[in-house]
């Protein structure tokens, strides 16, 4: 199929879509304004299967996470990753962020130990991101793919190994704070560690006590909260850590609540498959000032599939809008699919997240709220079902047009030609 023939919905389709939404009390222009003002933090690790650039041909190892597939065109250098991202940002309406992992520093061929990383190793990323007018940069210590991470990091029984990772995480926070200052927007530095065990442990408490103590050292240095926010990410299990995860949901939620100045990170792949991430948002935000989301799509396990406009994703954004939580939530993506064109994976997943946000902003909220408050659950159900078939696509296409990005499937034309001229030659 040639994508060229599949033209987007027209401007007149937008006019009639607006009428359809207005008749249900929805302000389409207000929705488009909020959508434009909501940055998504794109995860740098989709472009090279979580390899990073510490050394040539670096690959993801350990950590219980996995990118599957070997579609041609993986970015093998920093320059290639940036080139790919330049196309990605061009194909996304709105202004967005980039989420860097520590292993993506510009180390210029030198070995820089993780506990010795500094803002200078990310200076070229700042220049590059500013030249693209990105909204800002976010950051993550990388506590995996390293000889000292094989048997745990911040919870490791060996004090020296723990200290190495404490120093790495502390150094990462300083880099995050530096980003925040440079961009004048708030950088989130998110700590995720893979610590856990394959088989049933005897002692579940010891590693958690050590993790809690390590985190206190990691967060000891006070950084400017205006430009920087710390986050901690929980997890249920990973490959090779099926029986026990030190940084579980209860552990980090408890930790974030106790501290009060650390955001909790909810990753959509990090819960039992029947749990709803969306339902957690309004609970967590009752008691924490801020939330970080890793929008992802787990299929049967924490598989990190590309985000789509599915019901669980829509529900996440509905919660953010209905609960008026957008201001207190940092929205990041977290998936890595190596089985399809990686640039397309970035673009499709981000656009789907944006569409989910748009759909949420276009809900007939006033009518739904009134029906619910009146106890009229019949009308509420009718409204939910009516909303599903409202012309979301026509509004999305208009948003793309206004932001000078291809509407409909137009972005695929550019990706296909990039694949032909750039990716397939790598």
Quote the Cα angle for 292-293-298, to 5°. Answer: 150
Which residue from 26, 32, 44, 50 is in contact with ligand RNT, where contact means CB under 6 A? 50
291 bridge partner residues: 264, 329
DSSP string, 35-47: HHT---EEEGGGT
50, interface contact from ligand RNT, Zn ion, none, CB < 5-8 Å by kind = ligand RNT
333: which 2 tokens? 């993506």
Q: Is 54 in the site for Zn ion (CB under 5 A)?
A: no
Which residue from 49, 84, 167, 233 is in contact with ligand RNT, where contact means CB under 6 A? 233
Closest CA to 328 of 337, 319, 338, 336: 319
332 bridge partner residues: 41, 294
195, interface contact from ligand RNT, Zn ion, none, CB < 5-8 Å by kind = none
Region near Zn ion per CB under 5 A, out of 46-54, 132-140, 175-183, 267-275: 267-275
Given 235, 249, 305, 355, the catalytic residue = 235
Given 54, 304, 363, 397, the catalytic residue = 304
Given 233, 397, 414, 419, the catalytic residue = 233
Q: Is 267 in the site for ligand RNT (CB under 6 A)?
A: yes
Closest contact distance (angstroms) between CB of 389 and ligand RNT is: 34
Given 192, 230, 280, 355, the catalytic residue = 192
Q: Is 45 in the site for ligand RNT (CB under 6 A)?
A: yes
DSSP string, 136-183: EEEEE---SSSGGGTT-STT-SSHHHHHHHHHHHHHHHHHHHHHHHHH
Closest CA to 297 of 356, 248, 209: 356
* Chain centre to alpha carbon of residue 192: 13
Task: Give 105-126 as a 3 state SS string.
Answer: CCCCCCCCCHHHCCHHHHHHHH
Which residue from 294, 297, 314, 351 is in contact with Zn ion, where contact means CB under 5 A? 294
Interacting residues of 19 by C-beta distance below 8 A, sequence separation 6+? none
- The nearer residue to ligand RNT, 84 or 267, going by C-beta atoms, is 267
Closest contact distance (angstroms) between CB of 334 and ligand RNT is: 5
267 in active site: yes
Residue linked to tokens 């590309």: 306
Q: Is 138 in the site for ligand RNT (CB under 6 A)?
A: no
Residues 292-351 that bind ligand RNT (CB under 6 A): 294, 302, 334
354, interface contact from Zn ion, ligand RNT, none, CB < 5-8 Å by kind = none
DSSP structure class, residue 233 = E
Closest contact distance (angstroms) between CB of 269 and ligand RNT is: 7
Quote the Cα angle for 28-31-34, to 5°. Answer: 155
Let me know if 154 is exposed, middle or buried by CB neighbors in 10 A (0-12, 13-18, 19+): buried
Quote the Cα angle for 28-30-35, to 5°. Answer: 95
Region near Zn ion per CB under 5 A, out of 105-113, 141-149, 288-296, 357-365: 288-296
377 in active site: no
412, interface contact from ligand RNT, Zn ion, none, CB < 5-8 Å by kind = none
Question: What number of CA atoms fall less than 13 Å from residue 167's CA on the CB side?
Answer: 13
Q: Is 235 in the site for ligand RNT (CB under 6 A)?
A: yes
Residues 325-344 that bind Zn ion (CB under 5 A): 334
Closest contact distance (angstroms) between CB of 86 and ligand RNT is: 22
425: which 2 tokens? 């030659």
Residues 184-223 that bind ligand RNT (CB under 6 A): 192
302 in active site: yes
For Zn ion, the binding residues (CB under 5 A) are 267, 294, 334
For ligand RNT, the binding residues (CB under 6 A) are 45, 50, 65, 140, 192, 233, 235, 267, 294, 302, 334
Give the residue numbers annotated as catalytic, written as ranges: 192, 233, 235, 267, 270, 294, 302, 304, 334
């Amino acid at each position: 199929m040639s994508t060229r023939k599949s033209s987007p919905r027209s401007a007149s389709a937008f006019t009639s879509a607006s009428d359809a939404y207005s008749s249900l009390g929805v302000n389409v222009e207000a929705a488009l304004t909020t959508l434009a003002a909501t940055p998504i933090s794109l995860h740098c690790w989709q472009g090279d299967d979580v390899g990073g650039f510490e050394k040539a041909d670096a690959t993801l190892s350990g950590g219980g996470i996995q990118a599957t597939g070997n579609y041609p065109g993986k970015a093998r250098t920093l320059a290639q990753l940036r080139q790919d991202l330049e196309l990605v940002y061009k194909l996304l309406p709105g202004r967005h962020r980039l989420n860097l992992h520590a292993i993506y520093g510009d180390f210029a061929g030198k070995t820089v130990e993780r506990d010795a990383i500094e803002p200078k190793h990310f200076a070229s990323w700042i220049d590059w991101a500013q030249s693209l007018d990105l909204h800002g940069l976010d950051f993550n210590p990388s506590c995996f793919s390293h000889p000292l991470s094989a048997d745990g990091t911040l919870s490791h029984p060996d004090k020296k190994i723990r200290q190495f990772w404490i120093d790495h995480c502390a150094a990462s926070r300083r880099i995050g704070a530096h980003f925040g200052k440079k961009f004048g927007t708030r950088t989130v530095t998110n700590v995720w560690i893979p610590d856990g065990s394959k088989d049933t442990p005897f002692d579940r408490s010891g590693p958690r006590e050590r993790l809690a103590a390590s985190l206190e050292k990691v967060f000891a240095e006070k950084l400017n909260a205006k430009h920087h926010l710390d986050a901690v990410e929980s997890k249920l299990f990973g490959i090779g850590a099926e029986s026990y995860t030190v940084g579980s949901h209860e552990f980090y939620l408890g930790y974030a609540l106790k501290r009060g100045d650390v955001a909790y990170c909810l990753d959509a792949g990090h819960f039992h498959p029947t749990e709803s991430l969306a339902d957690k948002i309004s609970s967590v935000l009752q008691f924490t000032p801020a939330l970080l989301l890793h929008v992802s799509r787990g299929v049967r396990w924490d598989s990190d599939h590309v985000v789509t406009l599915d019901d669980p994703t829509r529900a996440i954004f509905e919660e953010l809008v209905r609960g008026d939580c957008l201001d207190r939530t940092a929205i990041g993506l977290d998936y890595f699919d190596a089985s399809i064109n990686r640039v397309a994976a970035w673009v499709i997943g981000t656009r789907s997240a944006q569409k989910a946000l748009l759909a949420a902003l276009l809900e007939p909220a006033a009518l739904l709220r009134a029906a619910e408050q009146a106890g009229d659950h019949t009308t509420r159900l009718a409204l939910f079902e009516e909303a599903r078939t409202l012309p979301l696509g026509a509004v999305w296409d208009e948003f793309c047009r206004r932001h000078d990005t291809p509407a409909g499937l137009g972005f695929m034309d550019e990706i296909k030609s990039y694949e032909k001229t750039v990716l397939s030659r790598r």
